[in-house]
A and B are shown apart, each in its own frame.
Chain A
Amino acid sequence: DIQLTQSPSSLSAFVGGRVSITCRASQSIANFVNWYQHKPGKAPKLLIYTASVLQSGVPSRFSGSGSGTDFTLSISSLQPDDFATYYCQQSQSIPFTFGPGTRVDTK
């Protein structure tokens, strides 16, 4: 199975600040990475697919980059609605696997 790690596991940031989350794969997965936002009691939300494509309806402050084994999710100007847990997911091969998550909370 392809293993994903995320760093940091949690972070605190101010509204308006810039946030970057890293996802690293145990082997090259080209651009087969997706990013999700999850809030307690809510359905997870797709933010970015194939490493850098913004899902329809997702604010442009979210962006994704990377290829191979290293990927980054960035939030350019953190908004109150963005405090949540973020997960990366590899979609190159079955079984699909997820990173352990990065919790973003308010500083």
Chain B
Amino acid sequence: QVQLQESGPGLVKPSETLTLTCTVSGGSISDSAYYWDWIRQPPGKGLEWIGSGYYTGNTYSNPSLKSRVSISVDLSKDQFSLKVMSVTAADTAMYFCARRSRDGYNHFDFWGQGTLVTVSS
């Protein structure tokens, strides 16, 4: 059974960089059949897709966040990471990592439990 676990600081100051890591177990991040994605949910709001990483290093981001987001993969550790730069209170959210199928149907078949990140001074 594939499991994903997010980790990182729960509090980030405005204008700083938010950095989160997702550790994958029960599967390999080098599996060519999957992308590795980040999704967030601000308090009381809906889910927002942030972006994807692939084992080749290719990444894809939501245009609404593209200039501030960086996603990377670490094949040796079966981890992938998210950086969001110049954060504001609007980046306060529950952040989820998820595995997405590469079969053309793009469904998220495994998710982490999420980690709450608060942006505040």
Contact = CB atoms under 8 A, between A and B. Distances in A.
B94 to A, nearest CB: 10
B47 A91 contact: no
Nearest to B96: A44
Q: How large is the interface on B (under 10, 10 to 19, 20 to 34, 35 or more residues)?
A: 20 to 34
Contacts of B111: 43-45
Interface string B70-92: 00000000000000000000000
Given A49-B105, A91-B105, A98 B113 contact: no
B32 interface: no
B25 interface: no
Contact of B47 (A32, A50, A87, A92): A87
Interface residues of A, number: 24
Nearest to B49: A96
Contacts of A49: 101, 105, 107, 109
A18 to B, nearest CB: 25
Contacts of A46: 107-110
Contact of A42 (B64, B101, B113): B113
A98 B49 contact: yes
Q: Per DSSP, are chain A's interface residues mostly helix, strand or loop, or mixed?
A: loop
Interface string A15-48: 0000000000000000010101000011111100
12 contacts: A46-B109, A49-B109, A50-B107, A87-B47, A89-B107, A91-B105, A95-B62, A95-B63, A96-B106, A98-B47, A98-B48, A99-B46
B114 interface: yes
B42 interface: no
A50 B113 contact: no
